[in-house]
Amino acid sequence: MARTTSLSGFTEWLPDERLVELHVLDTLREVFERHGFVSIESRAVETVDTLLQKGEIDKEIYGVSRLQADEDAEARLALHFDLTVPFARYVVENAGHLSFPFRRYQIQKVWRGERPQEGRSREFTQADIDIVGDGSLPFRCDVELAVVMARALESLPIGDFRMRINNRKLSEGFYLAIGLEDTAAVLRAIDKLEKIGPEKVAAELAETAGATEEQAQKALALAQIRTEDLSFVDQVRALGGEHELLEAGLTELAEVMGELQRRVPGRAVADLSIARGLDYYTGTVYETVLVGHESLGSVCSGGRYESLASKGKRTFPGVGLSIGVTRLLSRLLAQGHLTASRSVPSVVYIALRTDEDWGSAQDVADTLRGRGINVEVALRAEKFGKQIRHADRRGIPFVWFTDEDGRHEVKDIRSGDQVSADPQTWTPPQEDLSPRVVPAG
Amino acid sequence: MARTTSLSGFTEWLPDERLVELHVLDTLREVFERHGFVSIESRAVETVDTLLQKGEIDKEIYGVSRLQADEDAEARLALHFDLTVPFARYVVENAGHLSFPFRRYQIQKVWRGERPQEGRSREFTQADIDIVGDGSLPFRCDVELAVVMARALESLPIGDFRMRINNRKLSEGFYLAIGLEDTAAVLRAIDKLEKIGPEKVAAELAETAGATEEQAQKALALAQIRTEDLSFVDQVRALGGEHELLEAGLTELAEVMGELQRRVPGRAVADLSIARGLDYYTGTVYETVLVGHESLGSVCSGGRYESLASKGKRTFPGVGLSIGVTRLLSRLLAQGHLTASRSVPSVVYIALRTDEDWGSAQDVADTLRGRGINVEVALRAEKFGKQIRHADRRGIPFVWFTDEDGRHEVKDIRSGDQVSADPQTWTPPQEDLSPRVVPAG
Indicate yes or no: CB of B374 within 8 angstroms of CB of A35.
Answer: yes
CA quadruple B227, B229, B233, B239: dihedral positive or negative?
Answer: negative
Establish if A129 belongs to a structural domain.
Answer: no
The verdict on residue B435 lying in a domain is yes
Contact call for A67 and B59, based on CB within 8 A: yes
- Say yes or no: B4 contacts chain A, CB-CB below 8 A: no
CB A123 to CB B44 under 8 A? yes
* Contact in structure between B162 and B269 (CB atoms under 8 Å): yes
Is B292 part of any domain? no
What are the beta bridge partners of residue A130?
A104, A320
pLDDT of residue A1: 44
Answer yes or no: is pLDDT of B69 > 70.
no
Q: What is the mean pLDDT of chain B?
A: 93
- Give the closest of A22, A39, A65 to B63, CB-based: A65
Residue A38 has its nearest CB partner, among B15, B61, B109, at B15
**To 5 degrees, how large is the angle CA A237–CA A239–CA A241?**
75
Distance from the Cα of A390 to chain B's closest Cα (Å) equals: 8
CA A52 from centre of chain: 24
Single-letter code of the amino acid located at A49: D
* Higher-pLDDT residue of A96, B278: A96
CA B372 to chain A, closest CA, distance in angstroms equals: 7
**What span, in angstroms and rounded, lies between the C-alpha atoms of B101 and B318?**
9
Strand A38-39 versus strand A102-111 pairing type: parallel
List per-block mean pLDDT (blocks of 10 residues) for chain A, which spans 441 residues. Answer: 74 96 98 98 94 67 82 76 94 95 98 85 96 96 97 95 97 96 93 91 95 96 96 96 96 97 97 83 95 94 90 93 96 90 96 96 98 97 96 97 96 97 97 89 52
Does residue A34 lie in a domain region?
no
Chain B closest-CA separation from residue A36 CA (Å): 5
Encode pLDDT of B370-388 as tens digits.
Answer: 999 999 999 999 999 999 9
CB-nearest partner of B62 from A7, A64, A345 = A64
Cβ distance of B109 and A44 shorter than 8 Å = yes
B90/A12 touch (CB, cutoff 8 Å), yes or no: yes
Q: Which of A14, A39, A58 sits opposite B68 (nearest CB)?
A: A58
Min Cα distance A59 → chain B (Å) is 5
- CATH number of the CATH domain containing B402: 3.40.50.800
In a domain, B381, yes or no: yes
Alpha helices (H) along B9-157: 15-34, 48-52, 84-94, 140-154
Quote the number of domains for chain B.
1
Please state, in angstroms and rounded to a whole number, the distance separating the CA atoms of residues B104 and B85. 14
ipTM rounded to 2 decimals: 0.95
Are A376 and B101 an interchain contact pair (Cβ–Cβ within 8 Å)? no
Three-state SS string over chain A comes to CCCCCCCCCECCCCHHHHHHHHHHHHHHHHHHHHCCCEECCCCCEEEHHHHHCCCCCHHHCEEEEECCCCCCCCCCEEECCCCHHHHHHHHHHCHHHCCCCEEEEEEEEEECCCCCECCECCEEEEEEEEEECCCCCCCHHHHHHHHHHHHHHHCCCCCCEEEEEEEHHHHHHHHHHCCCCCHHHHHHHHCCHHHHHHHHHHHHHHHHHCCCHHHHHHHHHHHCCEECCCCHHHHHHHCCCCCHHHHHHHHHHHHHHHHHHHHCCCCEEEECCCCCCCCCCCCEEEEEEECCCHHHCCCEEEEEEEEEEEECCEEEEEEEEEEEHHHHHHHHHHCCCEEECCCCCCCEEECCCCHHHHHHHHHHHHHHHHCCCCEEECCCCCCHHHHHHHHHHHCCCEEEEECCCCCEEEEECCCCCEEECCCCCCCCCHHHCCCCEEECC
In a domain, A377, yes or no: yes
Question: Range of B414's domain?
Answer: 348-439
Average pLDDT on B163-191 reads 95
Instruction: Give the pLDDT score at B169.
Output: 96
Q: Collapse the DSSP code of B106 into the 3-class scheme (helix H, G, I; strand E, B; otherwise coil) and give the result.
A: strand
**B27 contact A CB<8A:** no
Q: Is A222 within 8 Å of A271 (Cβ atoms)?
A: no
How long is chain B? 441
A315 vs chain B: nearest CA distance in angstroms?
18
Paired residues of A127 in beta bridges: A107, A323
Say how far apart CA B373 and CA B293 lie, in whole Å.
Answer: 38
Classify residue B388: in a domain, yes or no: yes
Residues B13, B21: contact at Cβ < 8 Å?
A: yes
pLDDT of residue B429: 97
For residues B147-152, average pLDDT = 98
B100 touches chain A (CB under 8 A): no
Query: A-contacting residues of B 239-278, CB under 8 Å?
Result: 259, 263
Helix, strand or coil, per DSSP, at residue B59: helix
| Max CA separation in chain A (angstroms) | 93
pLDDT score, position A411: 98
HSE-up of residue A7 (Cα within 13 Å, Cβ side): 23
Asked whether residue B376 is domain-assigned, the answer is: yes
**What pLDDT, on the 0 to 100 scale, is given for residue A278?**
66
Q: What is the percent of chain B where pLDDT is above 90?
A: 84
- Taking residue B234's Cβ as centre, other Cβ atoms within 10 Å add up to 9
Instruction: Enter the DSSP assignment of B100.
Output: S
pLDDT band at B1 (very low <50, low <70, confident <90, very high): very low
pLDDT value for B152: 98
Mode of pairing for the β-strands spanning A284-290 and A300-311: antiparallel
On whether the CB atoms of residues B286 and B105 are closer than 8 A, the answer is: no
Q: Which of A96, A112, A88 minimizes the C-alpha distance to A40? A: A88
Task: Say how far apart CA B433 and CA B372 lie, in whole Å.
Answer: 9
Which pLDDT score is estimated for B51? Answer: 87
Is B345 within 8 Å of chain A by CB?
A: yes
